[in-house]
Amino acid sequence: MDIATANAMTYQEFMDTFGNVVEKCPLITAAVWSKRPFDNFLQLENSVFDFIDALPTSGKQGVLRCHPDLAGRELLSGTLTAESRREQHQAGLTSLKPEERQELSQLNSSYKDKFGFPFVICAKMSEKGKILQQISERVQNSPQQELCQGIEEVKKICHLRLQDIRSLATPTSSLATPTKL
């Protein structure tokens, strides 16, 4: 997909395509619609990031809370969003041994008890061993550090989701000329 295609979308098409670039926060995509037309995908991405950065602390915590637990209840019950399911699968979290799931579940609980929001990591860029190590380390951080770190991870996830949207829906005609992000 090139940026002209995104700019030409109706509101409904735009939401159907970009509505979950930040997990379960369609409000952000609905707000970013105000910023069209975009010169390129980087500008669209930065509009999302600017919106998140301008949120008060409670709003940033809210964004983190909209994310599911890794290998948690929603994965087990099959209620993850398509994007989260794909990401958790790619990180190896859909094939954990029982003792690994147990360890991750306990670390997740400790993390949520301490910070009041779930552990968020760009799972697609990690793998299960690294995730367990990261959560063990990050649970030691201060609330302010983890708020910043969590939001950075949200942005990495958003960046990869936008990349996926662009590559999945690239019309044949634009395959020959890679579009600048």
Q: How crowded is the C-beta side of 167, counted as CA atoms within 13 Å?
A: 6
In the complex, minimum distance from the CB of residue 7 to a second copy, in angstroms, rounded to a whole number: 14
| Residues comprising the chain, all counted | 181
Establish if 143 lies at the interface with a second copy (CB under 8 A). no
- Closest approach, Cβ 56 to a second copy, in A, equals 6
> Structure tokens of 174?
């634009």
SS3 180: coil
Candidate list 25, 51, 60, 67, residue with the active-site label: 67
Selected from 4, 37, 59, 169, the binder of a second copy by CB under 8 A is 59
Q: Which stretch binds a second copy (CB under 8 A): 21-29, 95-103, 134-142, 159-167?
A: 21-29
Contact residue for a second copy among 25, 151, 154, 158 (CB under 8 A): 25
- Alpha helical stretches, state H, 19-142: 26-32, 41-54, 57-65, 73-77, 82-90, 98-115, 128-138
Which CB, 32 or 91, lies closer to a second copy?
A: 32
Question: Does the annotation count 67 as an active-site position?
Answer: yes
C-alpha distances in Å from residue 28, one per residue of 45, 55, 80, 127: 11, 11, 19, 28
Binding interface with a second copy (CB under 8 A): 11, 24-35, 51, 54-59, 61-63, 65-66, 116
Q: What are the catalytic residues?
A: 67
